[in-house]
Amino acid sequence: MKAIVPFKIVNAKSRLSMLLTPEERKELALLMLRDITSTLTAAGVEVELLTTRPFVWDGARAVVSEKELNPALNDYIAAQDGPIMIVMADVPLITEKNIRDIIGSRADLVICPGRGGGTNLQFIRRPDRYHVDYYGASFLDHIRIAEENGLSSEVYDSFNISSDIDEAGDLVELYIHGRGEAAKYLRSLVVLDASKGRVQVVREETNIHAVRIPGKMTG
Amino acid sequence: MKAIVPFKIVNAKSRLSMLLTPEERKELALLMLRDITSTLTAAGVEVELLTTRPFVWDGARAVVSEKELNPALNDYIAAQDGPIMIVMADVPLITEKNIRDIIGSRADLVICPGRGGGTNLQFIRRPDRYHVDYYGASFLDHIRIAEENGLSSEVYDSFNISSDIDEAGDLVELYIHGRGEAAKYLRSLVVLDASKGRVQVVREETNIHAVRIPGKMTG
């Protein structure tokens, strides 16, 4: 089984620029990618990266395409002759159990929603009869594409996989729930601020109510 | 097995007031409550509502307390002699499978995270050795309270249960993923707008890119 992970290294995670420097964003993006690829590998899945320019990295082989995300992925899908998984590079909470559960499904398409109508992971058992259409309410588009091609689909219900770390407000999920290297790194940069109604991560330690992460959450 | 669902009927779902009228918010809140109680009942769980004033409703018995949420729930917990579940009233995506999975766990505490460090559902097998502390990063507080009382805890990974419908931005989850009465009602009031980067629900049908909900999603 193979997984393809689209990964953008240039100006990675630009929506986190209010809180993190370009170097920190790049490091966090690489650690999230490493957490995800380690987890996929541990579940017996071979990982390939889809990048727009050559990218040497020890964690996975890179497939380079200068096309936009959808045509690049659809070229990749068209070249496959067995089941594949498409995993977004910003879902560091994903677990080995999640991946094994998904692979264990009998559906032609297993889809994991992201928040706001997105698609954060797809397991495509029949790449010959499927194509992707990311952006917008892609979850609905993907369910429809499966239907139109006579494929059965199943929604895999996961908070972990739904938690894409894209904007500053998402970092709280990684801070609180993360168990990998990306979460450790994030916790070295920011602290949790629960002093206002909405819990968030902030740079400054002043005037905030410190929240202890229980030992079992950081190990 | 019993579940207690805290429910506020007066000025329900006030954070949705930018998009919905007071009457619509009340109706939506009641339909979400109905979806949740129906699902709990179908899974063999007896539902009680925790309310601040007497509330006659055919879906469940009301337990009235004028205290704040935490002391009211802790009074309730202290009076129990068997396992109980605490379920927030704004998680209408919850499924019967979710509930059966949670009840099937052997852990002393099963906890379902909400976004932003919240706790959307807890299954408390040992109410005699536990208390709750909602608000703020309550997920971490609840894990800590279990630890301090020598209770084992397990995190149940669910996008459905993590999706509390609290603010206007949350309605898109109910619109896209909901299969119950609350989702049907919401779809009668608003439409999906995928024309901008972030998918949202809006009142007006003008100038938006219509998105079809596949048949299987509305049934």
Domain with B130 in it: what CATH number?
3.90.550.10
| Interface ipTM > 0.85 | yes
Instruction: Please answer whether residues B86 and B73 qualify as being in contact, where contact means their C-beta atoms are separated by less than 8 angstroms.
Output: yes
Torsion angles phi and psi, residue B171, rounded to 5? -60, -25
CB atoms within 10 A of CB A81: 7
pLDDT given at position B208: 47
Residue with tokens 């029949």: A126
B39 in contact with A at a CB cutoff of 8 Å? no
Domain boundary among A114, A143, A162: A162
Two tokens, residue B82: 């068997």
Q: Is the dihedral of CA B118, A158, B202, B189 positive or negative?
A: negative
Summarize pLDDT for B3-40 with one digit per residue, the tens: 999 998 888 889 999 899 999 999 999 999 999 999 99
Q: Quote the minimal CA–CA distance from B19 to chain A in Å.
A: 17
A106 in contact with B at a CB cutoff of 8 Å? no
**Is there a single domain that holds both residue A153 and residue A192?**
no
Summarize pLDDT for B108-142 with one digit per residue, the tens: 999 999 999 999 999 999 999 999 999 989 999 99
In the stretch 137-166 of chain A, residues with CB closer than 8 A to chain B read 137, 139-140, 143-144, 147, 155, 157-163
Whole-number Å distance between alpha carbons of B104 and B83? 12
Whole-number Å distance between alpha carbons of B103 and B119? 17
CB-based burial label for B123 (10 Å; 0-12, 13-18, 19+): buried
Which among A162, A191, A186, A157 has a CA at the least distance from the CA of A174? A186
A128 in contact with B at a CB cutoff of 8 Å? no
Q: Are strands B153-155 and B109-113 parallel, antiparallel or unpaired?
A: parallel
Which among B1, B145, B132 has a CA at the least distance from the CA of B77? B132
Q: Tell if the CB–CB gap between B137 and A199 is shorter than 8 Å.
A: yes
Torsion angles phi and psi, residue A28, rounded to 5? -60, -40
CB atoms within 10 A of CB A165: 28
Residue B53 lies in a domain: yes
**From the CA atom positions of chain A, what is the Rg in Å?**
18
Q: Which of A117, A158, A163 sits opposite B199 (nearest CB)?
A: A117
**Is there a single domain that holds both residue A41 and residue A106?**
yes
Report which residue type is found at A84. Answer: I
**Is there a single domain that holds both residue A29 and residue A92?**
yes
pLDDT given at position B11: 82
CB-based burial label for A218 (10 Å; 0-12, 13-18, 19+): exposed
Which residue in chain A is spatially nearest to B168 when comparing CA positions?
Answer: A116
pLDDT at residue B165 is higher than 90: yes
- For B139-156, what is the mean pLDDT? 98
Instruction: Please answer whether residues A146 and A132 qualify as being in contact, where contact means their C-beta atoms are separated by less than 8 angstroms.
Output: no
At B193 the three-state DSSP class reads strand
Instruction: Please answer whether residues B142 and B109 qualify as being in contact, where contact means their C-beta atoms are separated by less than 8 angstroms.
Output: yes
| List of chain A residues whose C-beta atoms are within 8 Å of the C-beta of residue B161 | 159
Q: Which of B137, B157, B192 sits opposite A192 (nearest CB)?
A: B137
Domain boundary among A119, A141, A162: A162
| List of chain A residues whose C-beta atoms are within 8 Å of the C-beta of residue B99 | none
Q: Tell if the CB–CB gap between A113 and B217 is shorter than 8 Å.
A: no
Task: Say what percent of chain B tops pLDDT 70.
Answer: 93
**Is there a single domain that holds both residue A113 and residue A30?**
yes
| List of chain A residues whose C-beta atoms are within 8 Å of the C-beta of residue B199 | 116-118, 136-137
CB atoms within 10 A of CB B105: 15
Instruction: Please answer whether residues A193 and B193 qualify as being in contact, where contact means their C-beta atoms are separated by less than 8 angstroms.
Output: no
| List of chain A residues whose C-beta atoms are within 8 Å of the C-beta of residue B115 | 115, 163, 173
Whole-number Å distance between alpha carbons of B140 and B120? 13
At B110 the three-state DSSP class reads strand
Centroid of chain to Cα A57: 18
Domain count, chain B: 1
Report which residue type is found at B74. Answer: N
pLDDT given at position B43: 98
Work out how many CB contacts closer than 8 A connect A with B.
109
pLDDT given at position B209: 52
| List of chain B residues whose C-beta atoms are within 8 Å of the C-beta of residue A198 | 116
**Is there a single domain that holds both residue A11 and residue A112?**
yes
CB atoms within 10 A of CB B77: 18
Which among B145, B96, B90, B95 has a CA at the least distance from the CA of B120? B90
Residue B8 lies in a domain: yes
**Is there a single domain that holds both residue A155 and residue A188?**
no
**Is there a single domain that holds both residue A20 and residue A66?**
yes
Which among B11, B9, B8, B33 has a CA at the least distance from the CA of B21? B11
**Is there a single domain that holds both residue A69 and residue A173?**
no
Which residue in chain B is spatially nearest to A196 when comparing CA positions?
Answer: B136
A94 in contact with B at a CB cutoff of 8 Å? no
A100 in contact with B at a CB cutoff of 8 Å? no
B43 in contact with A at a CB cutoff of 8 Å? no
Which residue in chain A is spatially nearest to B152 when comparing CA positions?
Answer: A216
B179 in contact with A at a CB cutoff of 8 Å? no
Instruction: Please answer whether residues B77 and B65 qualify as being in contact, where contact means their C-beta atoms are separated by less than 8 angstroms.
Output: no
**Is there a single domain that holds both residue A144 and residue A205?**
no
Range of the domain at A187: 168-218
Give the pLDDT band of residue B205 (cuts 50, 70, 90): low
- State the first-to-last Cα distance of chain A, in angstroms, to the nearest integer: 29
Whole-number Å distance between alpha carbons of A199 and A58? 36
Please list the residues that pair with A109 across neighbouring strands: A124, A153
| List of chain B residues whose C-beta atoms are within 8 Å of the C-beta of residue A169 | 116
**Is there a single domain that holds both residue A58 and residue A107?**
yes
Per-residue pLDDT of chain A (219 residues; tens, 9 = 90+): 999 999 988 888 899 998 999 999 999 999 999 999 999 999 999 999 999 988 888 778 999 999 999 999 999 999 999 999 999 999 999 999 999 999 999 999 999 999 999 999 999 999 999 999 999 899 999 999 999 999 999 999 999 999 999 999 999 999 999 999 999 999 999 999 988 778 999 997 554 455 555 554 433
Residue scoring higher pLDDT (B208 or A75): A75
Contacts for A200 with CB less than 8 Å, ≥ 6 apart? A168, A169, A171, A172, A192, A193, B116
**Is there a single domain that holds both residue A98 and residue A157?**
yes
**Is there a single domain that holds both residue A67 and residue A149?**
yes
- For B182-194, what is the mean pLDDT? 96
Q: What is the mean pLDDT of chain B?
A: 92
